[in-house]
Amino acid sequence: MVYKTGSWDLLEIKPASIEAEMKRIEEYVLRLEKARSILKEDMDVALFMKLVKDFEALHIKTERLGVYCHLRFCENAADQRAVADMGQVEQYFTSISNRLMFFSLWFKKIDSKGAGRFIAASGKYKYHFEQLRLTAQYTLSEKEERVVNVKDITGVSALNTVYNIFTSKFVYDWNGKKITQEELIAHVRDTNPAVRKKAYLALLSQYKEHREVIGEIYKNIVNDWRGECVELRGYKTPISVRNVGNDIPDKAVEALLAVCARNEKLFHRFFDLKAKRLKMKKLTRFDLYAPLGAEKKNIPYGTAVSMVLESYGKFHPEFVERATAILDSKHVHSAIAKGKRSGAFCCGVGVELLPYVMLSYNGTPRAVSTLAHELGHGVHFSLASCQTEFTMDACLPLAETASIFGEMLLSETLMEKDPASYESMVFDKLDDLYASIIRQAGFVRFEIEAHSMMKNGATIDEVSARYLEMLRAQFGKSVFVDEIYSYEWLYIPHIFHTPFYCYAYAFGNLLTLALYEMYREDKAFAEKVISMLKLGGSRAPVEIARTVGVDITSEAFWQKGFDVIEQMLAKVEKPVVKGKVLLKEKGKKR
């Protein structure tokens, strides 16, 4: 099949009409509402499981309609019809949630013996019900939960929609031509330092100019998060909300962030080395992702797909089969388009359908890597379709495993194909590892600070000044950071949409580095990785990681990932002559 950039085909999930589909969903809801009267701790287990399957059938219908409206909005955030439809459906789903929450609230409140009887008989649904019990202590009364749901749809959810609409309208004047943010970002990796600086200044100046509006959005999101989750529900800290949602111990996240902070020095070495290779005295933040040589910018989309599938094929046939199925089903929106939401993502639609992928392909190696990443997510969704609707989605940190594995496979294939460019490719990979580990962990540490500062009445400029201070500390003396980067955090959508999400990238990258090293030592390990991915979200993350011999609560484990990075760095620190690495190092001892 010949692959070209284009839009996705939403026919599988497109309703005859949104109003008609909502009426069909309403019939399910009315039947389920009647179940309130039969809920008892001594009810028959078979009756309980029939009720669970009825709720799952409703979930399938709401998921498809919700994803359809979301994808239509992402195609063009300026499309008023798409915005209106999404808002209408979100409000209806909030109503459904309020009417049917009695089931989960009842299950959280029954005694342990009664709950244990149902959990023991629930089969593949077991972890779903274990998670419900875990959050019991943070659950409010039914009336309070209903108020929170209504508040969310007209509050924090609406604020995020405003953020998306507002920032999607940003256009940039580039040499007399109006371009999108996605097109502008390609220039931050230009070989010309002046072009890189110009691109970053254009990007961040928009966010600086509009910092009062965007900052006000953020302030209210933070206040909502603290007010609901910490003050009402009783979570220990703002980040604990995310940790409990991920079912990851605070200890594991604290260990991860601590090890990331200790290893910032490793990347100081890399930035010093990169400055030498670029013949610069010192890198500036504008130069961080500068390529060592001219970057190829015209890789056809079809070639990119072939490169990704070839690299997947060297790992496991299931990676290729499932990725190909997503592509052939036209579930990928790859074209650059005005009004299209920035960034890239993969969106699951339940166990019966293939997921959808969105990216804006611009022909650069970076775009090929993004394709490998997002299709990796798609493979993970597809592999986990053997689970239930409630247990197929891996928690956020483990959800990054297959996507990052996909990137690693692509990098390995490219290095094999072009060994002469080995050093350049390693530099590109180290760029990526900084961006996806140290940078992401830095975002989370900043969020911890920002939530505290907002609680104490800090202004947007004060929060921005703290961001710059933390960023400069992260780079040490190795990189000069311009004042304009005070406003970089306003450009990071995860900070707005999903507070404290970003440690998932550091988690996923370090975990995948360790897994990839195991795979390189023993190719049969691929089967263990496939088995792990098939578990989806059907067990606690600590247990899923143990299936491949990993302890995510151990700082020693996280350090192993950085040990792999140091090995990569050490190879390019050695002098190179005619494409061969000299075995003898000069000077520096470690």
Q: What is the mean pLDDT of the chain?
A: 92
First to last CA, the chain: 52
Q: How far, in Å, CA of 274 to CA of 429, rounded?
A: 13
State CA 589 to chain mean position distance. Answer: 39
- In degrees and rounded to multiples of 5, residue 231 shows phi and psi of -80, -40
pLDDT confidence band for 395 (50 / 70 / 90): confident
Residue ranges covered by each domain of the chain: 18-149, 301-423+504-539
Q: Is 495:218 a contact under the CB 8 Å cutoff?
A: yes
> For 452-462, what is the mean pLDDT?
97
pLDDT confidence band for 588 (50 / 70 / 90): very low
Buried/exposed 330-365: b ≥16 CB within 10 Å, e otherwise = bbbbbbbeeebbbbbebbbbbbebbbbbbbbbbbbb
- Decide if pLDDT at 578 tops 50: no
Q: Is 246:232 a contact under the CB 8 Å cutoff?
A: no
Residue 552 DSSP code: T
DSSP states along 481-527: --GGGGGGGGG-HHHHHSTTTTHHHHHHHHHHHHHHHHHHH-TTHHH
Token representation of residue 297: 């910018």
Q: 94-108, 110-124, 312-326, 510-524: lowest mean pLDDT where?
A: 510-524
Residue 156 burial (10 A CB sphere; 0-12, 13-18, 19+): buried
- Determine the topology of domain 18-149 in CATH: Butyryl-CoA Dehydrogenase, subunit A; domain 3 (1.20.140)
pLDDT confidence band for 297 (50 / 70 / 90): low
Q: Among candidates 289, 273, 267, which has minimal Cα distance to 196?
A: 289
Q: How far, in Å, CA of 125 to CA of 133, rounded?
A: 13
Map residue 54 onto helix, strand or coil.
Answer: helix
- Decide if pLDDT at 444 tops 70: yes
Looking at residue 366, its pLDDT comes to: 82
For the chain, percent of residues with pLDDT exceeding 90: 79
- Decide if pLDDT at 586 tops 70: no
Looking at residue 295, its pLDDT comes to: 61
Looking at residue 575, its pLDDT comes to: 56
- Decide if pLDDT at 590 tops 70: no
Q: Look-up: residue for tokens 């209408």?
A: 88
> For 543-569, what is the mean pLDDT?
91
Contacts of 520 (CB under 8 A, 6+ apart): none
449 forms bridges with which residues in the sheet? none
- In degrees and rounded to multiples of 5, residue 344 shows phi and psi of -145, 150
Looking at residue 589, its pLDDT comes to: 30
Q: Among candidates 239, 217, 246, which has minimal Cα distance to 492?
A: 217
- Decide if pLDDT at 585 tops 60: no
> For 367-389, what is the mean pLDDT?
96
Q: Among candidates 155, 124, 284, which has minimal Cα distance to 225?
A: 155
pLDDT confidence band for 421 (50 / 70 / 90): confident
Residue 434 DSSP code: I
pLDDT confidence band for 483 (50 / 70 / 90): very high
Token representation of residue 225: 């998060």
DSSP states along 509-575: HHHHHHHHHHHHH-TTHHHHHHHHHHTTTSS-HHHHHHTTT--TT-HHHHHHHHHHHHHHHHHHHS-
Q: How far, in Å, CA of 526 to CA of 166, rounded?
A: 44
Token representation of residue 365: 């190696």
Q: How far, in Å, CA of 170 to CA of 338, rounded?
A: 10
Q: Among candidates 197, 158, 209, 186, which has minimal Cα distance to 490?
A: 209
Q: Look-up: residue for tokens 């009267």?
A: 37
pLDDT confidence band for 342 (50 / 70 / 90): confident
Instruction: Give the other-Cβ count within 10 Å of 549's Cβ.
Output: 12
Looking at residue 426, its pLDDT comes to: 86
- In degrees and rounded to multiples of 5, residue 178 shows phi and psi of -85, 120
**Total length of the chain:** 590
- pTM for this prediction: 0.82
State pLDDT tens for residues 42-84.
999 999 999 999 999 999 999 999 999 999 999 998 899 999 9
Q: Look-up: residue for tokens 């962030």?
A: 257
Q: Among candidates 387, 406, 368, which has minimal Cα distance to 3?
A: 368
Q: Is 175:423 a contact under the CB 8 Å cutoff?
A: no
Instruction: Work out whether strand 345-347 and strand 356-358 pair parallel, antiparallel, or are unpaired.
Output: antiparallel
Higher pLDDT, 295 or 9: 9
Distance (Å) of CA 543 to CA 127, 418, 561 = 11, 39, 19
Q: Is 301:327 a contact under the CB 8 Å cutoff?
A: no
pLDDT confidence band for 496 (50 / 70 / 90): very high
Q: 34-38, 249-253, 469-473, 527-531: lowest mean pLDDT where?
A: 249-253
- Decide if pLDDT at 587 tops 80: no
Q: How far, in Å, CA of 555 to CA of 226, rounded?
A: 29
Domain spanning 301-423+504-539, CATH class:
mainly alpha
Which parts of 285-438 fold into alpha helices (H)? 301-315, 317-328, 365-383, 396-399, 401-417, 422-433
Higher pLDDT, 353 or 508: 353
Q: Among candidates 209, 253, 579, 186, which has minimal Cα distance to 418?
A: 579
State pLDDT tens for residues 42-53.
999 999 999 999
State pLDDT tens for residues 241-270.
999 999 998 988 999 999 999 999 999 999
Q: How far, in Å, CA of 500 to CA of 258, rounded?
A: 15
Buried/exposed 52-62: b ≥16 CB within 10 Å, e otherwise = beebbebeebb
479 forms bridges with which residues in the sheet? 283
Looking at residue 343, its pLDDT comes to: 84
Higher pLDDT, 418 or 208: 208
